[in-house]
Amino acid sequence: MLGAEILRNYYTLGIGIGLGFALIIAGILVGYLVGKAIGLEHGNGMRTFALAAGCQNYGYTAVPVVQILWSGSALAVLFVHNIGVEIAIWSFGVMLLSGDRMIKWKRMINGPIIAVIIGLILVMLRVDDQVTGSFRSVISIIGIGAFPIALVMTGAAMMDLVGTEKPSWKIILGSILVRMLLVPIIIIASAKFIPMPVELKQVLVVQAAMPAAMVPILLAKIYGGRPAVAVQIVIATTAVSIFSLPFIITYGMRFLNLTPITP
């Protein structure tokens, strides 16, 4: 984020955070409707299905794909977009899982949001160029190391849950329908028809292709959901994304008239 001129534009910040929030809510609602259509009910995985199928992987998989396809500016916009995603998941998503009737805003005080806000403050005050030397190198190394550590921790949590429930084809196929068809249509259509900078379009076309996020597994475990349902969704959509991701990104780039920096 530091040194990204595009983040000094207030409209980019507003539309990035706003769409990050709104598209996750839309995805959860689509997941809820599909869950209801395939016969899920409250108490047997409906809410977990809605959250897990409706939330794309906005970090672990998205970051390297954006970095490969686009410039550093798009990667900076991704982190701003992810503020909206985090707010949606930790407010509406947790409220859905836990059954709370009120949003507990203190849940949004977490590492990713704090880090991005600090980065934005430095950029907006134009002092981001002062963060140099060994301090910046240490922060970069910690950030790079956080990804594999988080993946290992999430993988360990998933292995504890694999086999605790018999896989359900209606959950697997329903989640693929939500994550790989319905939600990508909504995201790409938003990028086409809503005025926004090209960097945000680049972010959204990658978001459209992402498999289900891993965060709902942990949230379901903490807030009384069905974590085994979320595990099935993550495994199924990740496996399918190996084949669907290139197709969705290629189609999305053509529809939005985008060109990657590398062939």
The ranges assigned to domains in the chain are 5-256
CA distance 200 to 155: 30
Q: Can you give the pLDDT of all 263 residues of the chain as single tens digits?
A: 888 888 888 999 999 999 999 999 999 999 999 999 999 988 788 999 999 999 999 977 788 889 889 877 898 999 999 999 999 999 999 999 888 777 777 777 777 788 888 888 888 888 888 888 888 788 888 877 877 887 787 777 777 666 667 788 999 999 999 999 999 999 999 999 999 999 999 999 999 999 999 889 889 988 888 988 999 999 999 999 999 999 999 999 999 999 887 65
What HEC string does 214-245 produce?
CHHHHHHHHCCCCHHHHHHHHHHHHHHHHHHH
CA distances from 44 to 47, 128, 228 (A): 8, 49, 11
CB of 227 within 8 A of CB of 52?
A: no
CATH code of the region 5-256: 1.20.1530.20
